[in-house]
Amino acid sequence: MKLIVANFKMNLLIKDIHNYLEVIEQKLNKDQVIFCPNNLHIKYFSEKNYLVGSQDISFQEYGAITGDTSINQLKEVGITYTINGHSERRQYFLDNKYINKKVKLALSKQIKIILCIGENLKAFEENNTFSVLKDQIDNALKDNLNYINETNLIIAYEPIWSIGTGKIPTNSCLEKTILNIKTYLKETYNLNLKVLYGGSVNLENIDSLQEVSEIDGYLVGSLSLDPNKFLTLINKINN
């Protein structure tokens, strides 16, 4: 069974969430899908016993960090996962030091991590993809290995140039890149981790993506905002 993560980003209002939950009720496997809505909407999913993750956490457990949400507050409303290192967060707010701190904090609080890694278009065109991914992995895991195991960390490979553009790597490129990630994690850290693919996953390309044997699941952005289309995508993945 492939794991599917729905990243709502900064979308939907409460009325949309209620409608969403009505549409999906009893139509998906609750062990397969992790919903990552806006922090204000997390409780609506957790109250119905869906797997829920936050789109980020503060790098500190508590304190005077105006605008942040602490991991304790997020646990209180029901998260069991958090996304860390998404390219949009890296672009505007994060550097490797804070990603590393968040890995340690989340795992110390028994919150599982979906660690996003990905290269920009320049790195891809210059064949530096794996060098970028390796550095992102190393920086996130440094000094955190005592907390990490094969059940509490998931890798999400999202080429930055693919997010929201409709462009995705070829199947052969994806197969090679994801295999390289898994091999590096095994050889360097002795970890056999799930690797998801994210970046313009949609109903038109999912059949092709399903042919990539190394993909263990998907991180889905804009398509996940429409509950009917999202259910169709899940059915395609499962069939």
User: 158 catalytic, yes or no?
Assistant: yes
Q: Which listed residue (41, 88, 119, 158) is catalytic?
A: 158
Provide the residue-wise pLDDT of the chain in tens; the chain has 239 residues.
999 999 999 999 999 999 999 999 999 999 999 999 999 999 999 999 999 999 999 999 999 989 899 999 999 999 999 999 998 888 777 678 899 999 999 999 999 999 999 999 999 999 999 999 999 999 999 999 999 999 999 999 999 998 888 888 999 999 999 999 999 999 999 999 999 999 999 999 999 999 999 999 999 999 999 999 999 999 999 99
Domain spans, the chain: 3-238
pLDDT value at residue 163 = 83
Q: Which long-range CB contacts under 8 A does 127-133 form with residues at least 24 apart?
A: 129/159, 129/177, 130/177, 130/180, 130/181, 130/184, 133/157, 133/177, 133/180, 133/181
pLDDT value at residue 94 = 63
Q: Which listed residue (41, 86, 88, 119) is catalytic?
A: 86
pLDDT value at residue 238 = 98
pLDDT value at residue 47 = 98
User: 41 catalytic, yes or no?
Assistant: no
Q: Which is the CATH superfamily of the domain at 3-238?
A: Aldolase class I (3.20.20.70)
